[in-house]
Amino acid sequence: MRIATWNVNSITARLPRLLAWLESSGTDVVCLQELKCSAEAFPAEPLRELGYEAVVNGDGRWNGVAVLSRVGLQDTVVGLPEGPDYDGGQEPRAAAATCGGVRVWSVYVPNGREIGHPHYAYKLEWLEALRRTAEKEAPGELPFAIMGDYNVAPTDDDVWDVSRFEGATHVTEPERAALEGLRTAGLSDVVPRPLKYDQPFTYWDYRELGFPKNKGMRIDLVYGNQPFATAVKDAYVDREERKGKGASDHAPVVVDLEL
C-alpha cells in the first residue's frame, strides 16, 4: 500500500496537479492539508472518477484537511477529539479514517505565528489533544499513523539554517517537546531521513528563491505506531511536485507499506 501526506496549499489551485499526481504515483491513500475550501465546495467528483472516496473537514478559510482513499473509508472522524477552540470555535485541522486496514489521521497543526502569541499557546494545546488521541488509538495491532503538516521541525538538521530561526516558532523546545509526547504515546517518526534524497526538506517558501536555493524545512511528518513502522519498506519526499508552475510550497511525503 502506498500512503502519502501533502499540504496542497489550496486544493482548488492545485487540483490539476493533484489529479495528475494521483494517476502517475499509484498512491492508495493521501492525507491533504490546507484545502482552503469548504466541505461543500470540495472537488469530490473528479476524485471519485479516479476511484477515490474522501472524508473532508473544511470551512472555506485557510485551513482544511482531507483523507482520500481508493481502498475504502471506514470509521471516519471529522475534527480533533477534545481539541481546543480558537477564536470562538474548533478550526478544521484534523480528519481520520481506516483505509484498507490502516488507520490514518490527516492533521494540519496550528502555525503558532510567534512566541507569546495566543496562537502559539493554542498550538501547544492542540498538540496535547493530539497526543491524547494517539494514546487512545495507537495501541494494538492495527497500523496507525498521524500524517500531515506539523509546523514543527523535529531537530536543527530539519531546517536549512537554524540560526535564521532564533526567537521564532517551529523550532522551540516546547514545540519539540510536544512531538516527544507523541513518542511517549507509542509513535515514532517513520521518515526521519527519506531514502531517495540527501536533504529531508518538505517545505520551501515561495519567497527569496527558497526552493532553488534549498532553503527548506522538514515539517510534513509521518508518526506511526509499531505495526505501521514495521510495515514501512520505502519512503521519500517527492521533490518533483515542488517544481514548476502552480506548485504548492510543500512536497508530498510518500510511504510504501508491506502489509
In sequence order, what are the beta bridge partners of 32?
Answer: 6, 66
Would you state the pLDDT for residue 192? 75
| Percentage, residues of the chain above pLDDT 70 | 97
Q: Which three cell numbers, joined as nine digits, stand for 161? A: 539554517
Q: For the chain, how many structural domains are there in total? A: 1
Where would I find the H helices in the chain?
A: 11-25, 44-49, 118-137, 173-184, 226-231
Would you state the pLDDT for residue 76? 98
* pLDDT tens sequence across 135-190: 999 999 999 999 999 999 999 989 999 999 999 999 999 999 999 999 999 999 99
Per-residue pLDDT band for 200 (boundaries 50, 70, 90) equals: confident
Structural domain of residue 91, as residue ranges? 2-257
Q: From the annotation, which residues make up the binding site?
A: 7, 34, 149, 151, 249-250
Would you state the pLDDT for residue 208? 86
* pLDDT tens sequence across 46-73: 999 999 999 999 999 889 999 999 999 9
Per-residue pLDDT band for 198 (boundaries 50, 70, 90) equals: low
Give me the mean pLDDT over the 190-211 stretch.
Answer: 80
Would you state the pLDDT for residue 182? 96
**Residue 193 pLDDT exceeds 90:** no
Instruction: Say if residues 92 and 57 touch (Cβ distance below 8 Å).
Output: yes
Q: From the annotation, which residues make up the binding site for Mg(2+)?
A: 7, 34, 149, 151, 249-250
* pLDDT tens sequence across 228-253: 999 999 999 999 999 999 999 999 99
| Percentage, residues of the chain above pLDDT 90 | 93
- Name the residues annotated as catalytic: 108, 149, 250
Q: How far is CA 52 from CA 9, 27, 28, 49, 220, in A?
A: 20, 10, 8, 7, 22
Per-residue pLDDT band for 197 (boundaries 50, 70, 90) equals: low
- Beta carbons within 8 Å of 67's beta carbon, 6+ residues apart: 29, 30, 31, 32, 54, 55, 73, 76, 95, 96, 97, 99, 104, 106
Give me the mean pLDDT over the 15-24 stretch.
Answer: 97
Q: How far apart are CA 216 and CA 248, in angstroms?
A: 13
**Residue 194 pLDDT exceeds 70:** no
Strands 102-108 and 29-33 come out as unpaired
* pLDDT tens sequence across 98-110: 999 999 999 999 9
Strands 2-7 and 102-108 come out as unpaired
Give the domain CATH number at 138.
3.60.10.10
pTM here? 0.96
Would you state the pLDDT for residue 228? 98
User: Mean pLDDT over all residues of the chain?
Assistant: 95
Instruction: Say if residues 108 and 65 touch (Cβ distance below 8 Å).
Output: yes
Would you state the pLDDT for residue 199? 65
* pLDDT tens sequence across 29-47: 999 999 999 999 999 999 9
**Residue 221 pLDDT exceeds 70:** yes
